[in-house]
Amino acid sequence: MPIGIDIEKAKEIHKEHIRAIRKPILEQKDVEYMRALEMGDQEKVAQVVTEKQELRDVTKIVTDAEISGTTVSEVTAELKQIWNEEILGTNPLV
Residue 17 C-beta-side C-alpha neighbours within 13 Å: 20
| pLDDT tier, 70 (very low <50, low <70, confident <90, very high otherwise) | confident
Mean pLDDT for the stretch of residues 70-94? 89
92 Cβ neighbours under 8 A, 6+ residues apart: 17, 21
Query: So what's the pLDDT on residue 33?
Result: 98
| pLDDT tier, 3 (very low <50, low <70, confident <90, very high otherwise) | low
Q: Cα dist. 11→21, 39, 69, 91 in Å?
A: 16, 40, 12, 16
CA-wise closest residue to 18 among 49, 51, 63, 50:
63
Question: pTM of the full predicted structure?
Answer: 0.84
- Decide if pLDDT at 92 tops 90: no
- Decide if pLDDT at 76 tops 50: yes
Encode pLDDT of 14-67 as tens digits: 999 999 999 999 999 999 999 999 999 999 999 999 999 999 999 999 999 999
